[in-house]
Every structure is written in structure tokens, then in C-alpha cells.
Structure 1
């Protein structure tokens, strides 16, 4: 089953998103966080992959009904997004919605969503495990050393949006604080997992998916 739903944010405002669930009752949940394109068909397919793997899924619509059709528009919408509000209201509301029917809930995000997945691990108590593809929060977003839940990161060595030296610095902070994390690097460009974009790398994407699947299997179903 899949449908567009509305759910409550912690501040009482209403948010919306794409929701899908497997046949099994009491399945664990995953909040899937969009790239800078918005809630488009590609990110819905990603959500459906997780439902096929046995998870309840909610993809919050962080652009509130709008989508980007080209890179310039996508960059503009991402830059206009209030990341703090998105993480602690839209995404936390999605976590709370899934928590009503799931004992454990994780987050996974891609690109912009990868940043927000880390912020969710930093700020939302409802986050049980987090996976970030490509995204690295800026220093002013807070201290990643405060993360106490399992975190998995996937970095692209040819990434021009999040250069690999940013990943080096980010990992040093995680190590210094003994954050329970693991990180993988791929000889691929940014957004290597998006099959609808020019940077898609099938081999890197497959490896990252298998690792993400195993990570959630361990921490949400174990």
C-alpha cells in the first residue's frame, strides 16, 4: 500500500509526504529524505525499495508540493530551505508518525537529504539509526560528536558538492567523540546512486545499497 498522507509536526503544523507500508504488521520504519529535486518519482521509487525490503516508509515533502526540474532550480530551492526547521519539524514529525506503529525507526537521506539525516541523528531523539549518502553538515549546524545512535556514511571520492576533504574532517570529529559509525568511500561522483541523473554509477550504487540494507537489517530488525 502506498499513498500521500498528512501528519503533524511537533509545532502543531501539518506536513505531508509519501507513505508506503509492507503487508507485515509492526514492521520497523524508515524516513527517506529527498535530494534537492523534491518529492519526485525517483525518491518515491527509493522509498518503495525499502517497503519491498519490509519497512514502513515515509518520505516527507520538504518543498511542500514543489519540485525542481533542473539543477539551477534545485539549487535555489535547497538554498531557500530552512534546514533546522526541516530536520526538527518535518523530519521529526515523520519519525513520530512512524513511531506510532513501529518500535524502531531509522532515517536515510541522499545529497541534501544526507545532510538532514545526520542532523536528525544529532537533534531528534526518535532517530534510532541514520544513513547518509554524500551529505555532510556544515560546521555551524552543530557538533556531530553528539550523535549517540549508529551512523553509516557513503562518500564519493569525486564529489564536487561535498569534497572528500570535508568527509575527512567530518570523520575525525566522529572518531574523536567515539560516535558508533562506519563510513565507505567510492571511486564515483556525487549522486552516484540516482539512476535518473548523469552521475549514476551502477557498481557503486549496488555496493552502497547492500551496505545500507545490512545496516538497517542489523539495527532496526535485529
Structure 2
């Protein structure tokens, strides 16, 4: 009887360890780990709720395209005035693909003369409160987000050369979109997004990365950013790292801690990064 009880205890312990491993494995995905910040009160408080804003565009339009998981994805597209194989995939902040992102997407297209697709990783959900933003961000699954990104590459076509850009939640997914793009990726732009920690995965990058991070940020922290730079060096990949004496979401004009000087400097460097690789 004692041996039987001992066996049951061992099985229970093993099952517990196995379950922990599974949870740890799933939570280890950089983007999903970042999304869990939605449960952090300080993180939520660092984002001012967006003011009501309606953007009317003469050039942009909503699009729908197929994804590998058998579903459709939503996006917002602005075509360049002159034909070009270059695209910019824009990944929204934790609020979702709202009119602020559409306005920024059109500005990028105009300033760069590039096709732009603003991806919708929230599947037509847009948050207007911190609580909704946290809930939706935490619900995003890696498999679905990757299907949306891969579908956008297919929509753009096999000859498309793609840059990616994103902020906060979208900053981490911008890096992942560059990784997923393979040889079609032309460059990745991260604004205070969650870095990829897996050196072996970073070794698969086919394009350079430029990152803009804040020294007073904790999402990600300066230490995490330093570790990212070290990982990129180990992977033999180019990272143009820019750090500012600013806080999280410093490039968002609706943020009370908006840093105009840092934002303008970052935007200029981003434009130069893209234009150099479009030559």
C-alpha cells in the first residue's frame, strides 16, 4: 500500500512539473510574455486613453485577405502614388488598428513613397479604455497573429520587399514580422517593443533592425534592451540601437510624457534607415 501511495505521489509530481513546463513554454514567446503586462496596473496607467478621433482618408482603404488558418484578416492599405515593390507593414499599439494608426500609416506612405498595410492583429477589435486594451492584448495568440502576418506577405506578393514598424505591443510584433518575412524582409523598426531573446531565432533574420527605446521605461527595461543588443551581436545581426532619456510610449502625442525631441530624432533616423535600404 505504501508503494502504491508513493507511486501516486510521483505521478502527481511529474504531472505538475510537466504542466509547469508546458505553461512556461507557451509564456516564453516574447510577444505573449509582453502582452501579460496588461495585468500590470503601472503598465496600464502609463497609457493615456486616446481622445476621440475620426480620420478621413482619400487614399487609404480597408482590405480583407486570406490567412493560412482558413480565416480572413483585416487591414488598412495605402498604395504609393508611383508603382514600387516596397511595402511597410504597420503594427498597431495596444489600442488596436484605430484612426490614429491609419493616419500614421498614411503619413509613412507619403513620406517614403511606399505602399503601406496597417495590420490588424486584434481582428477588428479596437479598444478605447485601458481595461479593454489590456483584455484584448492578452487574448492575442501567437499562431493567429503569425497567420495574419504571413497572409499580409502573400497579399503583397512574392516580389514585395517589406519593412515593418510598430510601437509598444506592435514593436515586438514588428520584429517578429521581420523574422517571418525571410528574404522578403527589407528592414525592421521597433519602438519600445519586446525583443526576441532566442539567439538561434535571431540568426534567421535576413534584414537589419533599428530600435528606439527609453531609458526610463520598464516595458521593456533598459536591461532587457541591453540583453537584446548582446543577443543580436551573438547572432551576427545588425541592430541600430537608439536610446533616449524618456519614458514608455514617448513617441505617442497623446501620452503626457510625450517627448517631442526624441520623437523627431527617431522619426528622422527611421526615414533614413528605410530610404537607405530602398536604393
What secondary structure is seen at the aligned counterpart in 2 of 1:159? coil
Structure 1 residue corresponding to 2:251, chosen from 187, 190, 193: 193
Compared CA separation, residues 103 and 148, structure 1 to 2 (3 A)? closer
Aligned partner of 2:181 in structure 1 is 124
How many Å apart are 1:127 and its aligned residue?
Answer: 2.2
Partner-residue secondary structure (3-state), 1:146: coil
Q: Is the 8 A contact 2:178 2:185 kept in 1?
A: yes
Contact 1:42 1:196 in 2 (8 A): no
Counterpart of 1:108?
A: 165
Looking at structure 2, the residues matched to 142 and 40 of structure 1 have their Cα atoms a distance apart, in angstroms, of 35
Residue in structure 2 matched with residue 71 of structure 1 by the alignment? 130
Q: Residue by residue, what CA displacement relative to the aligned partner does 1:20-61 show, whole Å, maximum 9, x if unpaired?
A: 122111251100000000011111111011111211111111
Distance 1:19 1:29 in 2: 10
Counterpart residue number, 2:64? 6
Q: Is the contact made by 1:31 and 1:105 (CA closer than 8 Å) also made in structure 2?
A: yes
**Residue 111 of structure 1 contacts residue 191 of structure 1 at CA under 8 Å; is this kept in 2?**
yes
Tell me, in whole angstroms, the C-alpha distance in 2 between the residues paired with 1:18 and 1:158: 33
1:182 corresponds to which of 232, 240, 248: 240
> How much has 1:96 moved relative to structure 2?
2.5
Which residues of 2 match residues 156-175 of structure 1 at below 5 A?
A: 156-175=214-233
Indicate if the aligned counterparts of 1:35 and 1:111 stay in contact, CA closer than 8 A.
Answer: yes
Under a length normalisation based on structure 1, what TM-score does the superposition of the two structures give? 0.91
In the alignment, what sits opposite 1:99? 157
Uncovered stretches (5+) of structure 2, i.e. residues with no partner: 1-58
Change in 2 beyond 3 A, CA 1:84/1:26: same
Distance 2:195 2:144 in 1: 14
Structure exhibiting the larger radius of gyration computed from Cα positions: 2
Give the length in aligned residue pairs.
Answer: 219
CA distance in 1, matches of 2:123, 2:200: 25
Provide the residue aligned with 1:85 in structure 2: 144
The 3 A distance-change label for structure 1 pair 95 and 195 is farther
Please tell me the root mean square deviation across aligned C-alpha atoms, in Å. 1.9
Aligned 8 A contact 1:158 1:188 in 2:
yes
**Greater helix content:** 2
Q: Does 1:49 align with 2:107?
A: yes
Q: TM-score, normalised to structure 2's length?
A: 0.73
Q: 1:143 maps to which residue?
A: 201
Q: Secondary structure at the match of 2:82?
A: coil
Offset from partner CA, 1:74-101 (integer Å, 9 cap, x none)? 1221111113431x2112212222236x
Cα offset for 1:128? 2.3
Would the alpha carbon gap of residues 98 and 119 (structure 1) be closer, same or farther in structure 2, given more than 3 Å must change?
same
Residues 194, 219 of structure 2: 8 Å contact kept = no
Go from structure 1 to structure 2 and tell me whether the alpha carbon gap of 1:34 and 1:141 turns closer, same or farther (over 3 Å shift): farther
